[in-house]
A and B are shown apart, each in its own frame.
Chain A
Amino acid sequence: DTAVSQTPKYLVTQMGNDKSIKCEQNLGHDTMYWYKQDSKKFLKIMFSYNNKELIINETVPNRFSPKSPDKAHLNLHINSLELGDSAVYFCASSLRLAGSYNEQFFGPGTRLTVL
């Protein structure tokens, strides 16, 4: 009963390639997120979608394009991969209700290595 799942778990690719990471949640949440954790373990938000609408874009290069086909899915497509894109990418989801807990549930992460 995986709540937030990501595929693939590991991704090794060459510089310049285009790749996608998929995320799905079965929690009925309306908000989903992408976070990046770099080699120094610093965890930073990249994007957030609420009901398929982009609500947070943290000055991420436009080579990164999130796509939300429906509330349960948020995919991350990366064009022209660079060495600095190597990191662990975490997907998360939450509710967005006033006065509620709104805790975020994180996926297991996708370790991207760009050679």
Chain B
Amino acid sequence: DAKTTQPTSMDCAEGRAANLPCNHSTISGNEYVYWYRQIHSQGPQYIIHGLKNNETNEMASLIITEDRKSSTLILPHATLRDTAVYYCIVRVAPGTQGGSEKLVFGKGTKLTVNP
């Protein structure tokens, strides 16, 4: 079972920031937060991940609260091509003690970017 809770759907205007929340109140100290997205009919695509510090890459920013019980994925300037289902996943990094290669996908958030 997925250990995360996300809103079912969200809308965002093109060019504006999209802020996608995720609750993971039972996260363990060694579990990372990963974000993937699935654009219609395509395979899921990795976006970003983090442990406790905020992270940024060319696609998005990840803000993790100090207690690590929730996080927010930020797409700074959403485009129509960002319309997709966004999945928030927690897991212990593979290759470490107790790590898991398994990604457990929940239902995700369907983000619709409107023109």
Task: Render B28-47 as a binary contact track against A, CB cut-off 8 A, 1 for contact.
Answer: 00000010101001111110
B115 within 8 A of A: no
Q: Is the CB of B101 within 8 A of A55?
A: yes
The 8 Å CB contact of B46, one of A41, A58, A97, A104, is A104
Chain B residue with Cβ nearest A107: B43
Q: Is the CB of A109 within 8 A of B95?
A: no
Interface size of B in residues (CB-CB distance below 8 Å): 23
The 8 Å CB contact of A109, one of B42, B94, B99, B101, is B42
- The dominant DSSP class at the B interface is loop
Interface residues of A in 85-115 (CB under 8 A from B): 90, 92, 94, 96-109
Q: Can you give 17 A-B contacts (C-beta < 8 A)?
A: A42-B107, A43-B44, A43-B87, A48-B101, A56-B102, A92-B43, A94-B94, A96-B101, A97-B94, A98-B99, A99-B96, A102-B101, A103-B49, A106-B42, A106-B45, A108-B43, A109-B41
